[in-house]
Structure 1
Amino acid sequence: MTVLALDAWRARRLAHERRVDGWVEPHLRRRRAGERHPVEDFLFTYYSHRPAQLRRWHPGAGVVLAGASVQELGRDYRAEPAGVTVDAEVVRGHRATSIDWIRTLLTRTAGRPAQLGCFGMHEWAMVYRQTQDEVRHDAWPLRLSPAQTAAVVEERGVRCSHFDAYRFFTAPARPLNVLTPTRERQHELEQPGCLHANMDLYKWAYKLSPLVPSELVADCFALARDIRTLDMRASPYDLEALGYPPVRIETAPGRAEYAAAQRDFADRAAPLRERLLASI
Structure 2
Amino acid sequence: MTVTLSPTEWGPLQRSHTERADALVADHLDRQKRREAHPVEDFLFTYYSTRPNQLRVWHPGPGIRLLDAVEYDGRRGYAYVDGAAVLDPAEVVRRRHSVQWIHRLLAATADRQPQFGCFGLHEWAMVYRTSDVRHQKWPLRLGAEGTDSVVESHKIACSHFDAFRFFTAPARGLNVLEPTRESQPALEQGGCLHANMDLYKWACKLMPFTPSSLVLDCFELARDIRTLDMRASPYDLAALGYSPVQIETPAGKAEYAAAQRSFAIRARPLRLQLVALCEELFQ
TM-score normalised by length of structure 2:
0.95
Query: Which digits, 9 at most, give the CA deviation of each residue in 1:209-240, with x for residues without a partner?
Result: 11111111111011000000000000001111
Cα distance in 2 for residues equivalent to 1:91 and 1:70: 18
> What are the superposed Cα offsets for residues 1-27 of structure 1, whole Å, 9 maximum, x if unpaired?
111221221111111111111221211
Please give the secondary structure, in 1, of the residue aligned with 2:169: coil
1:145-224 equivalence runs, <5 A: 145-224=143-222
Counterpart amino acid of residue 116 in structure 2:
L
Q: Distance in 1 between matches of 2:236 and 2:76?
A: 46
2:116 aligned with 1:116, yes or no? yes
* AA aligned opposite 2:204: Y
CA contact (8 A) 1:6 1:68 kept: yes
8 Å contact from structure 2 (residues 73, 85) kept in 1: no
Number of positions where the alignment pairs a residue of Structure 1 with one of Structure 2: 277
Percent identical across equivalent pairs? 59
Which residue identity is paired with 1:28?
L
One-letter code of the match for 1:176? L
| 2:100 matched residue in structure 1 | 100
Task: Tell me how far apart the structure 1 counterparts of residues 259 and 214 of structure 2 sit (CA, whole Å).
Answer: 22
Give the unaligned 5+ runs of structure 2: 279-283
Offset of residue 79 of structure 1: 2.4
Alpha-carbon distance change, 62 to 208 in structure 1, aligned in 2, over 3 angstroms: same
Find the residue that maps to 2:146 and give its secondary structure: helix
- In structure 1, the residue corresponding to 2:65 is in which secondary structure? strand
Q: Give, in whole Å, the separation in 2 of the partners of 1:119 and 1:181.
A: 18
Matching residue of 1:2? 3
**What is the SS of the residue equivalent to 2:173?**
helix
- Distance, in Å, in 1 between the alignment partners of 2:74 and 2:252 is 48
Is 1:271–2:272 an aligned residue pair?
no
Secondary structure at the counterpart of residue 79 of structure 1:
strand
Q: Against the structure 1 CA distance between its residues 2 and 73, is the aligned structure 2 distance closer, same or farther, given a 3 Å change threshold? A: farther
What 5-or-longer segments of structure 1 have no aligned partner?
none
CA apart distance, 1:279: 1.0
What is the distance in 1 between the residues matched to 2:130 and 2:142?
Answer: 12
| 2:245 alignment partner in structure 1 | 247
Q: Give CA-to-partner distance per residue, 1:14-73, whole Å, 9 cap, x none.
A: 111111112212112212221110111000000111111111111112101122125557
